[in-house]
Amino acid sequence: MKSERLDKIQYRKNQSIKDVLKGFEQTAVYTEHGGFGVIIDQDGKCCGVVTDGDIRRKVLNGISINMPIAEAMNSKFVFTKPGDSPHEILRLFDHRINNIPVIDERGELVDLLQISNFNASARVEHKIIRSRVPVRISFSGGGTDMSYFINQNQSAVLSSTINKYCYASILVRPDNKIRIVSKDLNQKCEVESLDKLKYGNSLDLIKASVKIMQPDFGFDLEVLSEFECGTGLGGSSAVSVAIIGAFNYFRNENHLDKYHIADLAYQAERIELNNTGGWQDQYSTSFGGINWIEFRENEIMVHPLRVSRDVMLELHYNLLLFRFGKNRVSGDISCDQKQRFQDKKAVMREKYMQMYRLTKEMKEALLRGKLKRFGDLLDECWNLKKSFSDKVSNALVEKLYNAARMEGALGGKVLGAGGGGYLLLYVSPLYQKAVCGTLEELGARHEPFDFTDEGLETWATQR
């Protein structure tokens, strides 16, 4: 129960019975089966509870409603402590008690448990809820997954998740405080309640993802990423999906499916924070695996591809991933791309449709095991994507890509919006040593990776 509601159900023991009855008229919505109040002494410590039934019996016995409420309260009341287990609490409710105060070690009221909305599975103070979400590499179709295009045109993205993860961990608190720690950003914040959580720093994405789930309890949230955001892996979406997925654990029968989780992550990142970008990242990371993500006018469909194991092993054997350059703000590139689309709508629409056709061809090449054609299509798609915005590529990107092609790479692309981060290349094993050597001399770092089959995963563990 929120702290302001707790304040409203607390009464001083020297307040009159009449005042308490008036209070019950306003606070009955907060409690079970009519009026209920917690009585506190001059130090703010709980010394009793009272119900409208207690008062009715006292009045029938002749007590005046102008007497202090201490005359009607029950000083031998049932309560629980913040660390009590769900099992212990269920035993108290088994005595047909409707409202159970939660009293801390100082004797102060910190929560009120109600029989109608108590769920033992949701009270996991003794457990840590964790989630993990992989980032993605996009082979083709990126940049065409923007609302301004897919609202009137069909498009698709071919992508796969890889084994770089974001983790979110939640520990329920006995109070309403919220404590957020980002281990990779080395940032933290602590507020008294959800409504005190304000934007204004590098934790805004985490805050937006929390706010959109509206948790009605206090918690410690820790976020850890195995990657840098702003490197083209869809990392910010992975962070948002991980947080939303962890809080989804507490929704019980109102569990969200992966489509809803992806939509909420999009809302947190794109709508709430106004970060310009497309739709593919949230869906790729939520679902995981290698997917054909289809963008229709009114819906998004994720189609897992049944690619043979042999083909996936060979694809992995021929792909190289390089980290290069500085982190970039993908929204800047996306905004520039949107402006170009609006300025040259007919021309750009045809380019987007051409990307859609190439992406379909790439999907078919992958399903048929025609990996040389897949590598060639990477090159075609990359050259087409560079025409979406002047910011997609730059001198360093061109230098690295051209050097790789000279050493034998069939094709490749910069992941994400472009500009910097990760360069994905399709290179026959015969030329991989030369490509790696040349690119490392130019400042790019080769990073091994593997495909993953799973997207969002959530689990509970003992504290």
- Tell me the two tokens of residue 110: 């910190």
Q: Does one domain contain both 193 and 87? A: no
Q: Which CATH number characterizes residue 324's domain?
A: 3.30.70.890
Same-domain status, 159 and 105: no
SS3 405: helix
How would residue 371 be classed by pLDDT, with cut points 50, 70 and 90? Answer: very high
My answer on whether 161 and 200 are in the same domain is yes
Among all chains, which residue has been given the structure tokens 């308490």?
20
Q: What is the CA radius of gyration of the chain?
A: 29
> So what's the pLDDT on residue 271?
95
Same domain, yes or no: 71 and 188: no
Q: How far apart are CA 243 and CA 181, in angstroms?
A: 12
Do 368 and 240 lie in a common domain? no
Residues 99 and 231 both lie in one domain: no
281 is catalytic: yes
pLDDT in tens, 56-90: 899 999 999 999 999 999 999 999 998 787 788 88
User: Does 93 score more than 90 pLDDT?
Assistant: no
Tell me the residue length of the chain: 463
Instruction: Provide the whole-model pTM.
Output: 0.75
Q: Do 358 and 117 form a contact (C-beta atoms < 8 A)?
A: no
Q: Which amino acid is at 362?
A: M
Which of 86, 118, 150 is a domain's end point? 118
Task: Give strand ranges (E) for 147-234.
Answer: 155-172, 178-182, 187-191, 219-225
Check whether residue 275 and residue 314 sit in a common domain: no
User: How many percent of the chain have pLDDT more than 90?
Assistant: 73
Does residue 211 sit in helix, strand or coil?
helix
Q: DSSP class of residue 164?
A: E
pLDDT tens digits, one per residue of 174-233: 888 999 999 999 999 999 999 999 999 999 999 999 999 999 999 999 999 999 888 899
Q: How many whole angstroms separate alpha carbon 347 and alpha carbon 341?
A: 8
**CB contact set of 433 (below 8 Å; sequence gap of 6+):** none
Alpha carbon distances (Å) from 296 to 29, 144, 155, 305: 44, 12, 7, 18
134-140 mean pLDDT: 97
Q: State residue 415's pLDDT score.
A: 93
Pair of tokens at residue 222: 């820790």
DSSP string of 229-247? TTSSS-HHHHHHHHHHHHH
Q: How many domains does the chain have?
A: 3
pLDDT per position as a tens digit, 268-307: 999 999 998 999 999 999 999 999 999 998 899 999 999 9
**The pLDDT value given to residue 262:** 97
Among 67, 99, 118, which residue terminates a domain? 118
Structural domain including 371 reads 309-446
Encoded amino acid at 402, one letter: N
**Six-digit token string for 262:** 């992806």
Strand order through the sheet with 319-324 = 411-414, 421-426, 319-324, 445-446
Res 122: pLDDT: 53
Residues in CB range of 425: below 8 A, 6 or more apart = 319, 320, 321, 322, 404, 409, 411, 412, 435
Cα 398 from chain centroid? 34
**Cα separation, 139 vs 157, whole angstroms:** 8
Please tell me the predicted confidence (pLDDT) of residue 135: 97
- Cβ atoms of 417 and 387 closer than 8 Å: no
| Pair (341, 379) in one structural domain | yes
CB 418 within 8 A of CB 315: no
Residue 52 has pLDDT above 90, yes or no: no
Region 21-25: mean pLDDT is: 86
290 and 188 assigned to the same domain: yes
**Residue 177 neighbours by CB under 8 Å, 6+ apart:** 190, 191, 192, 193, 218
Are residues 372 and 297 part of one domain?
no
Side chain identity at residue 304, one-letter code: P
Q: What is the CATH number of the domain that holds 56?
A: 3.10.580.10
Same domain, 296 and 315: no
Q: What is the pLDDT of residue 3?
A: 65
| Domain stops at, among 84, 118, 152 | 118
Q: Output the CA torsion sign for 181, 183, 184, 187.
A: positive
49: tokens are 């509870």
Q: Positive or negative, the Cα torsion across 251, 255, 258, 261?
A: negative
Q: Tell me the pLDDT band of 124, cut-offs 50, 70 and 90.
A: very low
If asked whether residues 230 and 167 sit together in one domain, one would say yes
CA atoms within 13 A on the CB side of 107: 11
Catalytic residue among 52, 281, 332, 336: 281
Model pLDDT, residue 35:
84
Q: Give the Cβ contact number of residue 127 at 10 Å.
A: 16
Cα gap 102→9, rounded to integer Å: 13
d(CA 424, CA 211): 35
Q: Name which of 53-57, 324-328, 333-337, 385-389 the model is least confident about.
A: 324-328
We report the CATH number of the domain holding residue 286 as 3.30.230.10
Q: What gap in Å lies between CA 117 and CA 29, rounded to an integer?
A: 13
